[in-house]
Amino acid sequence: MNAVRRCSDPGGVAVAIVELVAERTDRDPLAIEPRLGAVVDVEALSAFVASPLATGRIGFEYAGCRVAVEGDGTVRVRERVEAADD
């Protein structure tokens, strides 16, 4: 199941990502390691969402989750599911 949030403020994308990851993984947002900035360029994500020409999505893995940021400011987070060994 995805956790989804629409960010109208490009500066809020990083906060939304951390909060949604915390929600999906039942962790304190301030305790998630590594910090988001160590995984992805936070300023580039904000610039992507701020661009009126942005289309598509940027995807990456962060703190055990798969994150997708769309050009319209939609952030989707889902827990990564590991394949079961047979």
Is there a domain that residue 85 lies in? no
Q: Is residue 31 in some structural domain?
A: yes
E strand or H helix at 24, and its extent?
helix 13-25
**Residue 84 resides in a domain:** no
Closest residue by Cα to residue 72 from 32, 13, 21: 13
pLDDT tens digits, one per residue of 26-48: 999 999 999 999 999 999 999 99
Domain carrying residue 49: 3-79
Q: How confident is the model at residue 80 (pLDDT cuts 50, 70, 90)?
A: confident
pTM here?
Answer: 0.88
What's residue 86's pLDDT?
Answer: 46
Q: Is 70 exceeded by the pLDDT of residue 67? A: yes
Residue 85 confidence (pLDDT) above 60: no
The number of domains in the chain is 1
